[in-house]
Structure 1
Amino acid sequence: MLSNQIIKDIASQISLVSDLSDEVLIEFCIIANQRYRIGSPIISDENYDFIFLNELAKRLPNHPFLKKVEDEIKGFSEDKIKLPQKMLSTDKAYSWEEVNKWLERITKFSSEINYLLADIQIKGTAKLDGFAGYDDGNKLYTRGDGNKGSDISRVFERGLGVFNNSERGQGPGEIVVKRSYFEKYLSNHFEYPRNFQASLIKEKELDKLAIDAISAKAALFVPFNQLPHWLGGINEFRKQFLDIVSQLEGGVDFDIDGVVFEIVNPELKTHMGSNRKFHRWQIAFKENKEKAQVKVLSITAQVGRTGKITPVAELEPTQLSGATIYRATGHHYGLVKDQGLGAGSVIELTRSGLVIPKINKVLKKAEVDIPTNCPSCGHKLSWDSDFLMCLNHEKCPEQITGKIIYFFQILANNDGFGQATIQKLYAEGIRQVSDIYLLNEAKLMSMGFGEKTSHNLINQLIRSRKESIEDWRFLAAFGVQRLGMGNCENLLRNYSVEKIFDLSVKDISNIDGFAEITAELIFDGLILIKPQYEILISEGFELEQTLLNTEINQSHSPFNSKKIVFTGTMSESRAELQKQAKTFGVNVGRSVSSKTDFLIIGENVGQSKIKDAKTHQVEILTEAEYLKLLNSN
């Protein structure tokens, strides 16, 4: 039996999961699960799933603990009685690949009974993080072991309401508390909502906090069939998966633990059946915030295009989100120094969905190695706050190639000039983007490129000059500090691209959105890129000019000088709508905030932006309503 101190050390990750014996790991998982089920969790659900349960599944994939339904209310005193309907656990998927495997199984089962794929309907709802129960109209049962549970009908006698003021007897659901209510009235008293939810169920008398929550209809029994849902076919599900997940996750004011998808066709559900733990016709998708405790093999210094030195942790190969992870960024050398990130340290690594792996924290420190010289050019490094910098901007190979790579990435109208090609060109004496545009096929072949490759590269250079490109994108490609694409567009709304190199710091700082320090950095950056800009322009780039504020339609449009966000599938290209909006003086944004004036919605809109719009009291218009107002002036 694990002592309280050992449990505490494991839960706080003082004791690393990799150091636990199989027996200790199993016992800890059992204890953590029991504590979670009775509403007194010792670790977060995320850490339980992604660190401890994941480690157990790796080591002992066939252990009985992983195969049985977890008792929902283990530790309550009531005698167990048979449930009116089985309440099994829900199988989990943490990536689209795993969801797709579920779809493949559905396809296989449907072919066995000659069921048409076009007839299959999938339903999606939020996966609530509460206490599961079954309400038959007379009694409310806990889920128990999936077959037998406890009678906790007393919660209704205490005044607990049913979500949407609906009737009792709707079958499976969960006892939950509204997230907004918990954060406002209960978060100072309870660490997790489950701690509070447990007080609603236990035999002891309710305290004032519980009585108030029930009276405010913030604590409720939510039947699953009352939840907002998505319903559609398999093809629609495949195409809109991420939007569906976003819509369902943002659709309820309760703590959620992912999204549940299930087949609704009775004949196919019956044929698919279940195993001892899961219904095969159902799956829960949890956004993959998978974690692992990983040993660091070494730290590699990487030089960026601005001279910033980034520490990259080389790791013991680790499976996360269905991929093998070998490296993760250490962010900056201030973190290396402060947290002891070095060869032999152990880190907590996270990878959410397909996002680059992130080091959450260093669990076990090691000696650190802080470079004193640039690994690319050997120049002495300097500290700038938490960052190590190489100030040899004009001669550092990695900075030079980084700037060229960045140019082609932002230009985004040219294939073939990736990192390998740029590094090969650098080895042959190329130091600037303009040098590349002066090349010909013969010169490329003399550098070691094949005839066909040389021909293709020159064609790409011709294409990038002849295809029309926005002037703000072209300017942004030079990588001037504080001149990203948004700031470039703002600058060019006030001054034409031909005039920006003659601007003073004061001229720039007078533009709305540019502080004096930003203006100084832009001024210095424009001086540096001017020779390159002039050479490239002389090569004949076709620039699409940004409309100046003085040229923008100054009609009495209700959208003039307003900030608008477009979302969903529009009847025409969203890019065209945004371009049209800008001619009417509209500021087009990407995300909804308190500064947004209108949210314009098309078809298949995710609920997150709508929820944000309601939160910030942003006016919501359909595309048709928007166009009617726009064209009526």
Structure 2
Amino acid sequence: MKDLFSNNNIQPAESPSVGGNSAAKDKLETLRKQLHEHNYNYYVLSQPTISDIDFDALMQQLAELEKEYPEFYDPNSPTMRVGSDINKNFVQVQHRYPMLSLQNTYTEEEIADFFNRVKRSLNEDFEIVCELKFDGTSISLVYENGRLSQAITRGDGKQGDDVTANVRTVRNIPLVLKGDNIPGYVEVRGEILMPWSVFEELNRERESQEEPLFANPRNAASGTLKMQDSKVVAARKLESSVYYLMGEGLPSDSHFENMELARKWGLNVSATMKKCCSLEEVFEFLKYWDVARKSLSVATDGVVLKVDSLSQQRNLGSTSKFPRWAIAYKFNAEKALTRLESVTYQVGRTGAVTPVANLEPVLLSGTTVKRASLYNEDAILALDLHIGDRVYVEKGGEIIPKITGVDKEARFLIGDKVQFVTRCPDCDTPLIRNEDEAVHYCPNSENCPPQIKGRIEHFVTRRAMNITMGPETIGLLYDKGLIRDAADLYALQFEDLVSLERWAETSANNLLASIEKSKTVPYERVLFALGIRFVGETVAQKLALAFHDIDLLAAATVEKLTSVEEIGDRIARSVKDFFENPGCADFVNRLRAHGLQFQLSEEALAARTDKLAGLTVVISGTFELHSRDEYKAMILQHGGKNSGSVSKNTDYILAGENMGPAKLEKAEKLGIKVIDEKTFLKMLDCSFL
């Protein structure tokens, strides 16, 4: 448990045996707060911050403490209810039958305990149905007279969101059931899934637009299902897999037979289900699929075991949270053993050099992995890597493959030890490494091809100049000598483009129109697009508000720059170095000559006020009238400071729906005023009608 706390920045409370009942109460409250926050991250935001096994360990610890100290009973404890994924933008619907979660296990011993517990309770023969636990978002499909009438998310287990319109776009969910023995009313429980191939394509698109990546297919499916535009949902190519029927007139007392019938009705029921008569058969199923699941097209994270007979299920009953007739076995984090064939090095737009491991292809989480990040020189040294090593590979957050270890006992006739390069792999310039950083840099920013291309790629992104061209087009134009920096984009001619291989007149006109339209992008985004090191979107906004045009910014001293709120010495010196570089100054002047916006518009200047001057505002929750980004911009526009964390320096919390409980508790403790969005807009004299 010590490792568990250290891995997740969770500080264990004082042992109850030391501090008595007071210490026990404090520890209970600490665990409840942590688990409430983790439930919110998982079910509402679809952004879990700890692993399932760590979450379950905390939950188990809380359950044991509550059992030991019943005087601290709390009806709102995380152990008393299922985490909620309710989205206020959807209509909430009561579940006719509660959607309970399953108790998780991680060892064969725990599976044996479950099996023997059922055996003792029933005192008669029984069968267990083993089913793969697909990692998606739970759904309840209601069919009346064979027609899909409603689709409801799990929500808090008692009520969920009506997402029928979105679910109708899932191709393998039948809108009308077919066949015989279909009850007049039946609820079909299942999962909405995103296949690995769709997930990876979606993340590639989001990465190209500089949007946050989904951590895994479950998060992507959950986020997609709650989108307001069902057309976008349809384009995401979601799938379903159903695993249970509920209703009064089910065809059979056998769960297995009911699912076989459901498949005939047109529902997607996994063909991997198996009915087992003994514990040995259950273990065989677990062992087989722990390996075979790697070749599936969708993510799996375990196996669900269910007593087959519905009447026996009713006899076994349920706790307030878990059915006693079912349990979930969770697989360990998936990893694979493969061979390190070589190490290559990539150079980014800032000159940062990243080592990449080239691997013998291996199947991992449904995809073939050929490369893995090695991060930096320190990571390579810590692994003691040699070419030819057998290495363990995992997917960090199920996105980016990483090497987690080396099978040193398997070393035989291995190659050289991996040494970090000392010169840039593209331009052969000696690399540098700052004392306070783990990253090596190529200092040849003006002549190193990947840095030049990377800066152009950054310049054209949606959050910067929003020019519709990808890395391949940029690479082609650079290789043909048509561009050497982003300013050259504005000198491109129609004849330059249509002469390129596979370029038609339409493609050329579309690109030129997009480039021309970018000239209207406001000053703060142009400033971000310049690619000044350490100047992200928020810093660019602050600098634009403090220095209304590019000449004022270029002439600012380090002292003037650091006088701007949240602009430290590192950012200030980076800005100063940029404008003192003759090449950068020329770059800006050429962009200015092409008509880009290098000063705040009159509208932006007129809209600036000091209504929030000296005030710090924290934003938390989801909003109806404006987006979080829009509220951040308003705070800056009116002279305030936006902070991501609550402290004694916070003046207001702008709170929407589903405000984080930790922030709310801290606000109450510090006496910070919590306001809603209408109150905030009234402070700014903004109309919200």
TMscore range, shorter length: 0.5 to 0.7
Does the CA-based 8 Å contact 1:296-1:313 persist in structure 2?
Answer: yes
Return the match for 1:278 from 283, 300, 306.
306
TM-superposed CA distance for 1:119, in Å, is 3.4
Partner of 2:99: none
Does the CA-based 8 Å contact 2:352-2:442 persist in structure 1?
Answer: yes
Distance of aligned partners of 1:266 and 1:574 in 2 relative to their CA distance in 1, 3 Å threshold: same
Query: What's the TM-score once normalised by structure 1's chain length?
Result: 0.58
Distance of aligned partners of 1:591 and 1:549 in 2 relative to their CA distance in 1, 3 Å threshold: farther
Does the CA-based 8 Å contact 1:592-1:613 persist in structure 2?
Answer: no
Q: Which moved more, 1:288-297 or 1:421-430?
A: 288-297
Q: Distance in 1 between matches of 2:127 and 2:333?
A: 27
Deviations 1:448-485 (Å, cap 9, x if unpaired)? 4443322221111112113xx33222111121112122
Does the CA-based 8 Å contact 1:307-1:399 persist in structure 2?
Answer: yes
SS of the equivalent of 1:119 reads: strand
Deviations 1:122-163 (Å, cap 9, x if unpaired)? 4345xxxxxxxxxxxxxxxxxxxxxxxxxxxxxxxxxxxxxx
Aligned pairs (5 A) from 1:185-334? 231-235=160-164, 242=219, 266-267=247-248, 273=255, 277-278=305-306, 290-334=334-378
TM-superposed CA distance for 1:540, in Å, is 1.7
Cα RMSD of the aligned pairs, angstroms, is 4.8
Does the CA-based 8 Å contact 2:356-2:374 persist in structure 1?
Answer: yes
TM-superposed CA distance for 1:563, in Å, is 1.9
Partner of 1:404: 456
Deviations 1:413-439 (Å, cap 9, x if unpaired)? 534422111111111222111112111
TM-superposed CA distance for 1:88, in Å, is 7.6
Partner of 1:376: 426
Question: Does 2:81 match 1:81?
Answer: no
Structure 2: unaligned runs, 5 residues or longer = 1-50, 57-105, 170-191, 193-217, 224-241, 257-274, 277-304, 309-322
Question: Does 2:112 match 1:71?
Answer: yes
Return the match for 1:532 from 578, 587, 601.
587
Deviations 1:3-50 (Å, cap 9, x if unpaired)? xxxxxxxxxxxxxxxxxxxxxxxxxxxxxxxxxxxxxxxxx9859x9x
TM-superposed CA distance for 1:632, in Å, is 9.7
Q: Distance in 1 between matches of 2:486 and 2:392?
A: 40
Structure 1 counterpart of 2:567, which letter? F
Does the CA-based 8 Å contact 1:92-1:286 persist in structure 2?
Answer: no
Partner of 1:38: none
SS of the equivalent of 1:431 reads: coil
Identical aligned pairs, as a percentage? Answer: 24
Deviations 1:169-215 (Å, cap 9, x if unpaired)? xxxxxxxxxxxxxxxxxxxxxxxxxxxxxxxxxxxxxxxxxxxxxxx
Aligned pairs (5 A) from 1:15-30? none
TM-superposed CA distance for 1:491, in Å, is 1.9
Distance of aligned partners of 1:447 and 1:596 in 2 relative to their CA distance in 1, 3 Å threshold: farther
SS of the equivalent of 1:536 reads: helix
Distance of aligned partners of 1:87 and 1:409 in 2 relative to their CA distance in 1, 3 Å threshold: farther
Q: Distance in 1 between matches of 2:327 and 2:683?
A: 44
Q: Distance in 2 between matches of 1:584 and 1:630?
A: 8
Q: Distance in 2 between matches of 1:88 and 1:329?
A: 42
Partner of 1:118: 149
Distance of aligned partners of 1:631 and 1:450 in 2 relative to their CA distance in 1, 3 Å threshold: closer
Distance of aligned partners of 1:407 and 1:564 in 2 relative to their CA distance in 1, 3 Å threshold: same
Q: Distance in 2 between matches of 1:418 and 1:489?
A: 25
TM-superposed CA distance for 1:630, in Å, is 4.8
Return the match for 2:622 from 563, 568, 575.
568
Distance of aligned partners of 1:327 and 1:615 in 2 relative to their CA distance in 1, 3 Å threshold: farther
Does the CA-based 8 Å contact 1:444-1:454 persist in structure 2?
Answer: yes
TM-superposed CA distance for 1:497, in Å, is 2.6
Structure 2 counterpart of 1:81, which letter? S
Does the CA-based 8 Å contact 2:549-2:598 persist in structure 1?
Answer: no
Does the CA-based 8 Å contact 1:94-1:286 persist in structure 2?
Answer: no
Partner of 2:315: none
Q: Distance in 2 between matches of 1:595 and 1:87?
A: 61
Deviations 1:57-109 (Å, cap 9, x if unpaired)? xxxxxxxx999991336899x9933289x99899665644xx4xx76xx76xx
Distance of aligned partners of 1:630 and 1:355 in 2 relative to their CA distance in 1, 3 Å threshold: farther
Aligned pairs (5 A) from 1:135-154? none
Deviations 1:222-258 (Å, cap 9, x if unpaired)? xxxxxx7652334489699859989xxxxxxxxxxxx
Aligned pairs (5 A) from 1:453-464? 453-464=507-518
Partner of 1:335: 379
Partner of 2:485: 432
Q: Distance in 2 between matches of 1:451 and 1:243?
A: 37
TM-superposed CA distance for 1:396, in Å, is 1.4
Partner of 2:280: none
Q: Distance in 2 between matches of 1:446 and 1:356?
A: 38
SS of the equivalent of 1:506 reads: helix
Distance of aligned partners of 1:114 and 1:346 in 2 relative to their CA distance in 1, 3 Å threshold: farther
Distance of aligned partners of 1:583 and 1:405 in 2 relative to their CA distance in 1, 3 Å threshold: closer
Does the CA-based 8 Å contact 2:353-2:442 persist in structure 1?
Answer: yes
Q: Distance in 2 between matches of 1:544 and 1:270?
A: 72
Q: Which moved more, 1:567-576 or 1:403-412?
A: 567-576
Structure 2 counterpart of 1:82, which letter? L
Distance of aligned partners of 1:297 and 1:450 in 2 relative to their CA distance in 1, 3 Å threshold: same
Structure 2 counterpart of 1:562, which letter? T
Does the CA-based 8 Å contact 2:107-2:329 persist in structure 1?
Answer: no
Partner of 1:614: 665
Aligned residues: 441
Q: Distance in 1 between matches of 2:685 and 2:363?
A: 54
SS of the equivalent of 2:353 reads: strand
Structure 1: unaligned runs, 5 residues or longer = 1-43, 50-64, 126-227, 247-260
Structure 2 counterpart of 1:554, which letter? D
Structure 1 counterpart of 2:610, which letter? Q
TM-superposed CA distance for 1:381, in Å, is 3.3
Q: Distance in 2 between matches of 1:455 and 1:550?
A: 36
Q: Distance in 2 between matches of 1:544 and 1:115?
A: 63
TM-superposed CA distance for 1:445, in Å, is 2.9
Structure 1 counterpart of 2:420, which letter? I
Partner of 2:567: 514
Distance of aligned partners of 1:91 and 1:420 in 2 relative to their CA distance in 1, 3 Å threshold: same
SS of the equivalent of 2:149 reads: helix
Does the CA-based 8 Å contact 1:562-1:585 persist in structure 2?
Answer: no
Q: Distance in 2 between matches of 1:346 and 1:612?
A: 46
Q: Which moved more, 1:429-438 or 1:503-512?
A: 503-512
SS of the equivalent of 1:80 reads: helix
Distance of aligned partners of 1:317 and 1:235 in 2 relative to their CA distance in 1, 3 Å threshold: farther
Deviations 1:250-307 (Å, cap 9, x if unpaired)? xxxxxxxxxxx99895449887935652389999798996544443332111111222
Query: What's the TM-score once normalised by structure 2's chain length?
Result: 0.53
Question: Does 2:677 match 1:623?
Answer: yes
Deviations 1:328-384 (Å, cap 9, x if unpaired)? 211112322342234333444343556333444455487214334322123333444
Distance of aligned partners of 1:335 and 1:75 in 2 relative to their CA distance in 1, 3 Å threshold: same
Does the CA-based 8 Å contact 2:519-2:595 persist in structure 1?
Answer: yes
Does the CA-based 8 Å contact 2:455-2:531 persist in structure 1?
Answer: yes
TM-superposed CA distance for 1:625, in Å, is 4.2
Q: Which moved more, 1:284-293 or 1:446-455?
A: 284-293
Does the CA-based 8 Å contact 1:314-1:327 persist in structure 2?
Answer: yes
Partner of 1:490: 542
Question: Greater relative contact order: 1 or 2 (C-alpha under 8 angstroms, separation 6 or more)?
Answer: 1
Distance of aligned partners of 1:74 and 1:479 in 2 relative to their CA distance in 1, 3 Å threshold: same
Q: Distance in 1 between matches of 2:130 and 2:646?
A: 34
Deviations 1:535-576 (Å, cap 9, x if unpaired)? 112212246828999974334x6x962223153141345544
